Chain A
Amino acid sequence: MSGYFKELFSGTKSLAVGLGITFRYMVKPVVTLQYPHESLQMTPRFRGHIELIPNEETGEPNCVVCGMCQKACPSNCISLAGEKVDGVKGKVLTKYILNFTTCSLCGMCVESCKFNAITFSKEYNLAGPSREAYVFDLKKRLEDKKQ
């Protein structure tokens, strides 16, 4: 008989505690964001697909087409080409293709780059109708971004 009342009181108490917890959460500020209207600032270590870093003065890519990123990439997603231009040290980038479908965001390319030419972007709004949509022309992206 004493067990019955003990259970009754402890049960009622635990129910009240539960109600208290949900009430506390109800008056707390909301944690969700209204996504299309607002979006989160990505953290500094967030890894989006890589992007080219423009030179601060000229706005052209920092890249000298040494090809280290291409060699470092374990899944061969990077292919780049450059040409020699008079009066510019090293080569000038003409094409930088990233095949994002096979990229695992390991970061070997970023680590291998000695010229501060590539970094992780903060891009996460990615959707496309085909595989080809994920073969990015990074040079073109940089130019689009400038505008």
Chain B
Amino acid sequence: MLDSLQSLGSKALDFFQRLGRGHILLLRILAGSHTLLSRLGLVVNQIFSVGVLSLLIILVSGLFVGMVLGLQGYNTLVDFGAEESLGVVVSLSLVRELGPVVSALLFAGRAGSALTAEIGLMKATEQLSAMEMMAVDPVRRVLAPRFWAGVISMPLLAAIFSAVGVIGGYFVGVGLLGVDEGAYWSQMQAKVDLHEDIYNGVIKSIVFGVVVTWIAIFEGNDAMPTSEGVSRATTRTVVHSSLAVLGLDFILTALMFGN
């Protein structure tokens, strides 16, 4: 009885300690970010490895998600004789939900895991400690540029995902299934609102960018400095950030579109 209580207590303490370390790390990153203004090259390099290298997977999956939406939406709408609304279906579901969420999930898998593995290995091979020995703050030099690169890249990737998806839906709907081209765009423009839909989608993707990058960097920095520890941390990054994205998406959707 006491033993099980003790194990529960130690797990809870462990959880809250990790939570606290995570927040302290986030605060240290934010506090150390001002030095980045004079060294933007660091951020640019990281945007390359975090954002540019994720472009291909985002482009391809955005195109296919849009095409599938076009196909499925058409099959449902044609029963009601409302296939002209295909543009609305494709664009609203992409801009509001699928764009931010799916690209955040892909981002967690493609860029988040790479960040964790990189930082974890730096820690395991004691590069971070070596930096500290040389009086270089690893939070400012290594973690902060990666964090901001993730935060900047994520909304751009989500926007590219949504735009490519809308074009994919256009290919399938207008090109393959014969929906009227004018109706596809005009219905879309009539129903999609700049503030309500697109701004909120961008806000969502920024929040996801912060959360995914934060989790990835924290897991890397918090990993046990062994090969096993790094592999566990990488797995945890993908699992935790995917769960966080899906859970946060519900909360954000309820706040934004729930009334």
Judge: A and B partners, yes or no. Answer: no
Which A positions have Cβ atoms within 8 angstroms of B? none
